[in-house]
Every structure is written in C-alpha cells, then in structure tokens.
Amino acid sequence: MIKCICIDNDTRPSRVPETKWLEKGKEYTLAFSMTVHPQKKLAFQLQEIDLDDSCSPYTWFLANRFAFRKEDTDKLIEFIKECNQITFSVNELMKVTNVDERKSNTIKED
C-alpha cells in the first residue's frame, strides 16, 4: 500500500464533479498506475476516488499532482513496474513526481 499526498488540485476538468476531485493536502492510496496518452505521462488511479465513465475521458490523475515519502521510492518504482511492466529509473521518477531528498514531504505514518 503506497500513500501519497495531493500537492496540486488546480484545473479540475468540468466533466469531473467536485465530489470526485482531489483535495490539496489530503492523503490518498495508489490503486493502479499507467502511462496515459496522448500526454505520455505517468498517472494514477486512487483507492479513495472512483473516476468512473461519467468523468470520461478523465479516469486518471497525473503523477505530478502528488508527493511521496522518500522512503517509499523503491516500493513506488516496483508498483509502477508491476502495473506498467516497464523499466522506470529513479531519475525518471523524480522528474515526474515530487520525490526529493532535499525537501521533506510530510505524510502521516500508519
């Protein structure tokens, strides 16, 4: 189970109701990961929010909307690999998410 925290909830698409949108500063749990097209960017589905067909074509949240704990980096990379069956380097991950050893991303411990 990988936790993340929303750091960017700007620009909610009009097709996605507020009840199915992210809350900045709220903690979420990753459910699935993939590279979305046409953006060719890493994106996540969350356990807490179901972006169903009524939100189409918006069924994923881009990864750059979230921050992760540095200590979860290895688990996050494995999760992405399992979901996408691709190789993903730490450097690539740090470019598309906010995993940064220089700053502390605060997420409550379980």
Q: Residue 102 domain-assigned? A: no
Q: Residue 27 domain-assigned? A: yes
- The three-state secondary structure class of 35 is strand
Q: Residue 50 domain-assigned? A: yes
Give tens-digit pLDDT for 51-88. 999 999 999 999 999 999 999 989 999 998 888 776 55
Range of the domain at 59: 3-96
pTM higher than the cut 0.85: no
- CA dihedral 84→89→90→94, nearest 10 degrees, is -70
Q: How far is it between the farthest Cα atoms of the chain?
A: 40
Q: How many domains does the chain have?
A: 1
Q: Residue 28 domain-assigned? A: yes
Helix H or strand E encompassing 36? strand 27-36
Q: What residues does 36 pair with on adjacent strands? A: 41
Give tens-digit pLDDT for 10-61. 999 999 999 999 999 999 999 999 988 888 899 999 999 999 999 999 999 9
Q: Residue 107 domain-assigned? A: no
Q: Kindly provide the b/e burial profile for residues 76-108, where b requires at least 16 CB atoms within 10 angstroms of the residue's own CB.
A: bbebbeebeeeebeeeebeebbbbeeeeebeee
